[in-house]
Structure 1
Amino acid sequence: MENLGLGDLKALGPMEEWPVGRLFAAASRLSGPIVWRIIEKHGISPAGFFLLRLLITEDGLRPGEVAKRLLVTPATVTSVVDTLERNGHVRRERSYRDRRGVMLLITDSGRRLLAEKSQPIGQDLARLYDVVDEGDEAAVRRFLLNLIKKFENYSHDEEAKGDGE
């Protein structure tokens, strides 16, 4: 395994002995590119797929809000929306509240595309995560939920406290 941007992994010894945090970081780092390749295999850009999924649940978001939620730049959203709009899957509409603002709306074509692609993509992605034994699932689930809560509650104040002590 390459260093994954996590330093010299050989210095850590056998992977089975790595700290849980390092294992999680390695799995996270490896998952992104693989998830993107799986989605691309289905003939849709990953960014477009995730943008449509966001709009199907919360239609009418502004591009800046979409960028924030998808953890991408506003320029990326503009580029992806340009393509989706050209293909008839999304439309831009002036905000009725603020005529300067633009809202992104999924079209019927975008809904059909998402309906067509979601199940096969979901099945392929599920095969990535079928490595958890049934008896271990509750513990893995607890770990991930607790980790997500920690990430959500993390503040730079806590980071600063750790640096000063």
Structure 2
Amino acid sequence: MENLGFGDLKTYPSMEEWPIGRLFGLASRLSGPVVWRIIERHGISPTGFFLLRLLIVEDGLRPGEVAKRLLVTPATVTSVVDTLERNGHVRRERSYRDRRGVMLRITDSGRRLLAEKSEPIGQDLARLYDVVDEGDEAAVRRFLLNLIKQFETHPHDKEAEGDSA
């Protein structure tokens, strides 16, 4: 196999020998669909679940802000909010500051739904991530926090990215 600028892909025949970045990339790609399926088994859409969790902490967000925080499109938020609103779990409310703006509010029904679903979903997700030995937890946590910091501070401008195709 050819060198694609980040080493010969034949160099690491076994996954156990892969560089950390490659392992992390694969784990990241695999985690999303698995987490989504776990949440869906509990009878709620993953985006709906995370949207309600977001509104529990910070009620009255604009749909665009929700989309940004959940890393989904505004159209996805609109569709999910339509369903949650139809089921009585959220309501749209005009902003008192800007009558054109819409704020999303969680209802008592949404709070009850989240209270009912959070513990079993949390238990299932905890089992999924219960692969880190207690003695390794501090090192894994440090690694992930440092990696997140690297991603957050990585330059986003074209000049810093160099030549890209």
Q: What TM-score results when the alignment is normalised by the length of structure 1?
A: 0.90
Instruction: Spell out, residue by residue over 1:65-92, the C-alpha distance to the aligned partner (whole angstroms, 9 max, x if none).
Output: 1011111111000000000000000000
1:163 counterpart residue number: 162
Q: Match of 2:62, as an amino acid?
A: R
Cα deviation, residue 151, structure 1: 1.0
Counting helix residues as a fraction of each chain, which structure ranks higher?
1
Q: 1:91-134: CA deviations, max 9, x gaps?
A: 00000000000000000000000000000000000001111111
User: Where does 1:86-125 land on structure 2 (aligned, <5 Å)?
Assistant: 86-125=86-125
Tell me, which stretches of 5 or more residues in structure 2 are unaligned? 1-8
Q: 1:162 to 1:92 in 2, by over 3 A?
A: closer
Task: Report whether the alignment pairs 1:60 with 2:43.
Answer: no
Q: Share of identical aligned residues, percent?
A: 85
Q: CA deviation at 1:13?
A: 1.1
Distance 2:78 2:162 in 1: 39
Measure, in 2, the Cα distance between the counterparts of 1:61 and 1:79: 16
Superposed displacement of residue 161, structure 1: 3.6
SS of 2:115 mapped into structure 1: helix
SS of the counterpart of 1:91? strand
List alignment gaps of at least 5 residues for structure 1. Answer: 1-8
Q: What is the alpha-carbon distance in structure 1 between the residues aligned to residue 50 and residue 143 of structure 2? A: 25
Structure 1 CA distance for aligned equivalents of residues 33 and 11 of structure 2: 25
TM-score (norm 2): 0.90
Contact 2:155 2:161 in 1 (8 A): no
**Partner Cα separation in structure 2 for residue 78 and residue 162 of structure 1:** 33
Q: What is the root-mean-square deviation of aligned Cα atoms in Å?
A: 1.7
Separation in structure 2 between the aligned mates of residue 57 and residue 23 of structure 1, nearest angstrom: 33
CA drift of 1:11 comes to 6.9
Equivalent residue for 1:3?
none
Counterpart secondary structure, 2:162 = helix
What SS does the aligned partner of 1:93 have? Answer: strand
Instruction: Say if 2:90 and 2:105, in contact at 8 Å, map to a contact too.
Output: yes
What does residue 48 of structure 2 align with?
48
User: Closer, same or farther in 2 for the Cα pair 1:100/1:162, shift >3 Å?
Assistant: closer
